[in-house]
A and B are shown apart, each in its own frame.
Chain A
């Protein structure tokens, strides 16, 4: 960026550049169709959707737990389900070499999926 375009900068411009690089790298607008990487691209897409559903389930569960209307047994069961689900997701991310911040989708004008 041209220096004369910067009107006010309260810190090193590198700090902002680093953050923007993070967005660019994490949220490609297209799936990588390179044959060698297509498996990872597809896994990324599928795991992003699974992660979205998992997070929604987690939110819903938190609401119910907070509401205090669950029995002891139900609390145990929800805890076990969520824990196993998160562990499984962790395993799958490791298998495909994906980081948390990579599991997102850029929906253009709508912003990011999560």
Chain B
């Protein structure tokens, strides 16, 4: 028997939802219940789960289709178990964690935001400004010594970096703060690369989604110096928390 069960999501309902959705292998997605929650699963041939872009995108689309019907926790791509019994076993084992997380994300949607800045341009602006500023320690680094010359160069680089980080912090505050206020929860990373100044996810209450998107549009129009990519709504990929899940790499 090479047929396994592929788990797509944990749902906040134990009703047998008529999902009418095909799984990765073309088999129907059905639900398996435990207490008041359930798992959305489908059969899959063991060798049919390919770790590639197409498969991952299909997996994502299946979760999004289910998301239209109920609140869910998306399960990690490629989560396969042997039988219905094992699926129920997982629901039973992690029941408390699932319920806490389902409550947290109920009635909410995730939006993703990436912001790019023109780091070279900002660098130039800072260099022009810092050129006018005298370094206190400059006198000590004057002279013909190559080592002092090296230190002076390094000191200027450090000053530039400090100024750049300060500028980035101001921009992040300007963008992230108003969006954080319009959302229920948020997570963000600063300066993921030199160009990506902000990489954030916002969990937004469904009834506030238009206000959130409108608020963002106004923000992006005001900051023409930056480039924005706002995507969503997504399943709450970034807002599921449990130390137990990490151990088992389940969700």
**8 A Cβ contacts from A68-112 to B:** 68, 70, 72, 75-80, 82-83, 111-112
- Cα–Cα distance between A61 and B148 once the two chains are bound (Å): 12
Interface size class of A (residues with CB under 8 A): 35 or more
A90 to chain B minimum Cβ distance, whole angstroms, is 13
A68 touches B193 (CB 8 A): no
Given contacts A15-B116, A75-B151, contact A1 B141 (CB under 8 A): no
Contacting residues, chain B, for A68 (C-beta < 8 A): 136-137, 140
A34 within 8 A of B: no
B150 touches A82 (CB 8 A): yes
- Cα–Cα distance between A75 and B138 once the two chains are bound (Å): 12
Q: Is the interface of A mostly helix, strand, loop or mixed?
A: helix
A88 to chain B minimum Cβ distance, whole angstroms, is 14
Q: Of the listed stretches B3-11, B37-45, B164-172, B228-236, name the one at the interface; the rest are far from the partner chain.
A: B228-236
- Cα–Cα distance between A58 and B156 once the two chains are bound (Å): 13
Chain B 187-200: CB-based contact to A (< 8 A → 1; otherwise 0): 00100110110000
Cβ-neighbour of B196 out of A13, A19, A65 (below 8 A): A19
Cβ-neighbour of B140 out of A1, A58, A72 (below 8 A): A72
Chain B 204-243: CB-based contact to A (< 8 A → 1; otherwise 0): 0000000001001100100000111111101000000000
A8 within 8 A of B: yes
B151 to chain A minimum Cβ distance, whole angstroms, is 4
Q: A7-B216, A7-B230, A20-B114 are in contact. List 19 more A-B contacts (CB 8 A).
A: A8-B213, A15-B116, A16-B229, A19-B116, A19-B192, A19-B193, A62-B154, A62-B158, A65-B155, A66-B136, A75-B141, A75-B147, A78-B147, A79-B145, A79-B147, A80-B147, A82-B150, A82-B151, A111-B189
Which A residues contact B (CB, under 8 angstroms)? 1-2, 5-11, 13, 15-16, 19-20, 22-23, 58-59, 61-62, 65-68, 70, 72, 75-80, 82-83, 111-112
